[in-house]
Amino acid sequence: MRQSPKKLHRITAPQRNARSSSLEIEEIAPPPRKLAGPARSLKTNVRHTPMSSIARRSCLATQVAPSKQVSKSGDSSKVEVIEFSASPPTRKRDLPSQNPHRPKAPLITSGVDCSKLLSHYPKISDFLRDLGYESLRKGQPEAIHAALGGYDVVVRLATGVGKTLAAVLPAYYRGNGLTVIIVPTRSLLVQYVSKLNVDFGLPTMSFQSEMPPAWKDLFIMNLRQEPVFGQASVAPLPYFLIINPEQLFGPDASHNLMDALQRLRNKGLLSRFVMDEAHTFLEWTFRNPLQRLTQLRTLFPGVPITALSATLTDVDVRSLMSKLNLRPDTKVITGLTDRPNITYNVIYSSSAEASSKLLRFVVRLQKEQAGSCIIYCVSPKECDTLISQLRNMKVTAAIYHSKMNAAELTQNANDWLSGRTQFIVATSSLGVGIDKRDVRYVLHYGPPLSFTEWAQQSGRAGRDGLPATNVVFYRLQSFENHAPLVWEESSGWDVVTHRSRFKQLCDVHMCCLAPQRCIRQSLQLSGTSFDCTSSASCAPCSSCRHQQRDYHAVVNLSVFASTAFNAIPANVGDGKTIRQLSETKKLWTATSLKVNETTVEITSSVARDLLNYLAVLSLFNISYHKTRHQQKGFFKILASGHDVSMLNEQLPKGLFSKGRR
């Protein structure tokens, strides 16, 4: 008999004075001490029937008002976009099944309009409390109503708002079919099973390649029999099946599983497919099974699809709908993706100083027991290097990246999730679906590769609504290391997509270098104009705080760029690397650099920074190089380039700001 999944305990860090996070580095401002309070509660007039336990709920679709059928009229050809902003939730600590004698109370709506949802599904508040909740956040009622109505749904709400509940509650309410939740990573699969099966008490199973054959056979046998959801003659049938894409379309995919799902679909018992972290479908083109999810609509016609993500741009939403063949009347639930409780900061340094600044910061966090922290690196190699440096500084930290085996990943993730380890050094693999609510700091060792990645990773912080801090330790020369990663991830991309990803990388570097635009606004993927001044509860980001800082750096970039082009022989087809060009002595004397009226000597390091800046401006034609004997690729600057005669001599604030050298 299969053992129940191990529960991942959530340990909330002790609350400390917010000013304890001011760590010698003056760029860090304390996060806001107090956020805006929740909206005024609006009680409903709905009467409730006596509550029944989760185990006794089955086939309740006949007890509710009929769902709205998908309209085929011309008016339905437009995608309905419903916009909301987030508000704090109210959650009960005890489940009704654990305390059945708790007095009944109407649903607390926390300022959210639930009238439409309650008018069609008046018993929904009972089911919500069965799951341990007393209220819904903005956006959740509309997503739940759309799912109960049988629509395809795209939910784009901020991290921590409760997108999962918007997918789980409709399936539990209907109770007469299987909902298949497809997640991109194994860690997210384990979290889903724990949350639904252990926390919510909902019958849930996962189907994994490493399962014993006997378990697989038992599960398939239950899916193939005439099901009564919530009970069965052999073993309890689940409301939810949690799988990775590989279980449907991978090389080890089970044909028996696909056949069983087809049988359920033919009987009208396959309720819905839910794709969590749907942005990975667009970004992770190296995962062929993930890309084959486009076949769901063809293989299972009529089965609605829900896509969940906090980091979809408007363009991404349209692309997702097109590739998944979502219906024209798809309901798109969207809202502000901003997290006002997070303070965003960029700390500048030279390449030599970057690691030392980060290490000092982490040591202070450990000394002050400042709460859980994630340190993101862009590659496994950077993770390995940084974890070694941290351990030399007597800092206990876990590590998490794709080059590790499954057992190590599970152990390290559990050590950090349970609070046994304060720090974890990770690549973006950890950013997908991690639900640890007491993360106080998210640090980046170098800038992320895109605003989407920045928003996704920084969104791991402060999911409990308390103040949190995101810090990017920026070094300009990291562009040399990060740009090749765009090429290495480009398998299967067309030219347009490749150029778009490279532009996103350049935009992130410009946001860090030239803080004329609020970081908070740059991370608004929905295209809204929300910034640090939009709400009194938002702490200003480092860009907004430093707008008035006196800074003046001037260099004749036109002369410098022309000298760089001339240093590349025309007959050298593969160009030169930035490091090779920075050693050209003609660049050191081609022009002068003045910072706040003080002349700064142009050394190879300064020249290298200036060359990286010109590359960020996309003024160079570059080519990517990697041989089969090399683990890491690199790019070279070609002799040809763009017109550099009209370059602005004023340099951005982040390029040679005070304290870098």
Residue 491 has pLDDT above 60, yes or no: no
Q: What mean pLDDT do residues 410-437 have?
A: 86
Assess if residue 32 is contained within a domain.
no
Please tell me whether residue 476 adopts helix, strand or coil conformation.
Answer: coil
Q: How far is CA 566 from the centre of its chain?
A: 43
Of 154, 182, 163, 152, give the one whose Cα is nearest residue 293.
182
Q: Cα–Cα distance between 239 and 181 in angstroms, integer?
A: 10
Residue 353 lies in a domain: yes
Is the same domain home to 468 and 422? yes
Q: Which long-range CB contacts under 8 A does 601-610 form with residues at least 24 apart?
A: 605/350, 605/351, 606/656, 607/581, 607/582, 608/477, 608/578, 608/579, 608/582, 609/350, 609/476, 609/477, 609/655, 609/656, 610/555, 610/557, 610/560, 610/655
Check if the beta carbon of residue 418 is closer than 8 Å to that of residue 491. Answer: no
Are 440 and 377 found together in one domain?
yes
Residues whose CB falls within 8 Å of the CB of residue 233, separated by 6 or more in sequence, listed in order: 225
Compute the chain's Rg from CA coordinates: 27
Asked if the structure places residue 651 within a domain, the reply is: no
Which of 316, 335, 354 marks a domain boundary?
335
Are residue 387 and residue 525 in the same domain, yes or no?
A: yes
Residue 208 tokens read as 């994994």
- Please give the pLDDT value at position 296: 94
CA distance 552 to 658: 11
The predicted model scores a pTM of 0.70
554 DSSP β-pair partners: 594, 650
> Do 462 and 586 share a domain, yes or no?
no
Judge whether residue 383 has pLDDT over 50.
Answer: yes
Residues 533 and 560 in one domain: no
**Domain limit, last residue, from 545, 571, 603:** 545
- Return the CATH number at 505: 3.40.50.300
355 shares a domain with 292? no
Of 646, 612, 579, which is closest to residue 513 (Cα–Cα)?
612
In a domain, 103, yes or no: no
d(CA 541, CA 28): 9
Task: Output b/e per residue, 473-507; b: 16+ Cβ within 10 A.
Answer: bbbbbbbbbbbbbbbebbeebeeeeeeebbebbbe
Q: Which residue has the higher pLDDT, 505 or 70?
A: 505
Mean pLDDT over 219-243 rounds to: 67
Confidence check: pLDDT of 393 > 70: yes
What CA–CA distance (Å, rounded) separates 409 from 391?
18
549-596 per-position pLDDT tens digit: 556 678 888 888 888 888 887 665 567 888 888 888 888 888 878 777
Number of compact structural domains in the chain: 3
Instruction: Report how far residue 79's alpha carbon sits from residue 644's, in angstroms, rounded to the nearest whole number.
Output: 44
pLDDT higher than 90, residue 298: yes
Residues 529 and 598 in one domain: no
In a domain, 245, yes or no: yes
Distance CA 447, CA 376 (A): 9
Q: Considering the domain boundaries, does residue 118 fall inside one?
A: no
474 shares its domain with 519: yes
464 shares a domain with 520: yes
For residues 418 and 455, membership in a common domain is answered with yes
Q: Token pair for residue 461?
A: 């912080």
Q: Tell me which of 18-27, 422-431, 619-628 is least confident.
A: 18-27
Tell which residue, 264, 353, 333, has the closest CA to residue 302. Answer: 264
Q: Is residue 123 part of a domain?
A: no
Q: Which of 529, 545, 561 is the last residue of a domain?
A: 545
Q: What is the pLDDT of residues 501-557, one digit of tens each?
A: 888 888 898 888 876 678 887 787 655 666 676 666 667 777 777 654 556 678 888
The mean per-residue pLDDT over the stretch 179-208 comes to: 86
Return the bridge partners of 596, or none.
Answer: none
The more confidently predicted of residues 593 and 326 is: 326
pLDDT at 268 over 80: yes
Helices assigned H by DSSP within 136-238 = 140-148, 163-174, 186-193, 213-224
Q: What domain range includes position 393?
A: 342-545
Residue positions counted in the chain: 661
Sequence-ordered list of residues with C-beta below 8 angstroms from that of 514, at least 6 positions apart, any chain: 652, 653, 654
Of 241 and 251, the structure prediction assigns the larger pLDDT to: 241
Shared-domain flag, residues 480 and 566: no
> Among the ranges 95-104, 204-213, 250-259, 299-308, which has the highest mean pLDDT value?
299-308
Nearest to 170 by CA among 148, 201, 153, 155: 148
H-assigned helices in 555-603: 557-566, 578-582, 585-589
105 lies in a domain? no
Tell whether 358 and 399 lie within a shared domain: yes
- Can you tell me the mean pLDDT for 226-246? 67
